[in-house]
Amino acid sequence: MRILRFQLYVLFASLFCATAHAGYTHYFTWHQKPNDTDLKACINEMRRIIETRTNMLAGPDGTPASIVGSSDVDLNGIGDDAHEPFVFPGEEGFNFCKTQVKPYDAVVTACLLVARDHFPQSVLSIDSDGSWSEGDWEDGAKLYSSVLGRTPRNPISPAWRMYGWRVALFIYGVTASLLIIMALVIKKLFRRFKANF
């Protein structure tokens, strides 16, 4: 009976610790409508990046189609390497593109790096399931540098910029509380386990 209880505690703790990712996704949020001049300059630089990878890109449904318009980008991978389309500038407000780290992810991240160059965080917030510091954006950063001859900067906006400081403070508080609870549960589990053996 005690072993069963221990297993239930371990199961509970592992579920508590698990992160829920529906897939590798990049997010961008417009806080205001982009300026037409800045948007056109951004799309022109995205076009330069896209033109170097036409062998791996298709239209939004994964079939050959026009990818870059005069004021928008709508691309995907090809065939089995397609997932969800990257549509830029997308809608005012929240947008996302789930790439599942398929080959076209490098183009998507390079395009988001370009977007960061043209739009400050007060206009456009960028976030990702990938980590800039852990190298998840490395392929996109290399593509960006090779085409534009510039060193990219971290495009990911801090949580307070993405969601507002009140929501970010709440998220940080909940996360800290969960970590403390998890530590206490694990400590209690170890004490019970140690007492049983």
Domain residue spans in the chain?
A: 25-157, 163-197
β-sheet bridge partners, residue 97:
26
Q: What is the pLDDT of residue 36?
A: 94
pTM of the predicted model as reported, rounded to 2 decimal places: 0.72
- From residue 170, alpha-carbon distances to 36, 40, 167, 174, 197 in Å are 35, 37, 5, 6, 41
Does residue 9 surpass a pLDDT of 70?
Answer: no
Does residue 4 surpass a pLDDT of 60?
Answer: no
SS3 for the chain is CHHHHHHHHHHHHHHHHCCCCCCCEEEEEECCCCCHHHHHHHHHHHHHHHHCCHHHCECCCCCCCCCECCCCEEEECCHHHCCCCEEECCCCCEEEEECCCCCCHHHHHHHHHHHHHHCCCCCEEEEECCCCCCCCCHHHHHHHHHHHCCCCCCCCCCHHHHHCHHHHHHHHHHHHHHHHHHHHHHHHHHHHHHHHC
Q: What is the pLDDT of residue 61?
A: 79
Least confident range of 10-19, 63-72, 112-121: 10-19
Least confident range of 22-26, 35-39, 118-122: 22-26
Q: Are 121 and 157 in contact (CB under 8 A)?
A: yes
Least confident range of 2-6, 71-75, 99-103: 2-6
Q: What is the pLDDT of residue 163?
A: 52
Q: What is the pLDDT of residue 81?
A: 92
Indicate the pLDDT class of residue 107, thresholds 50, 70 and 90.
Answer: very high
- 38-47, 76-85, 124-133: which has the highest mean pLDDT? 38-47
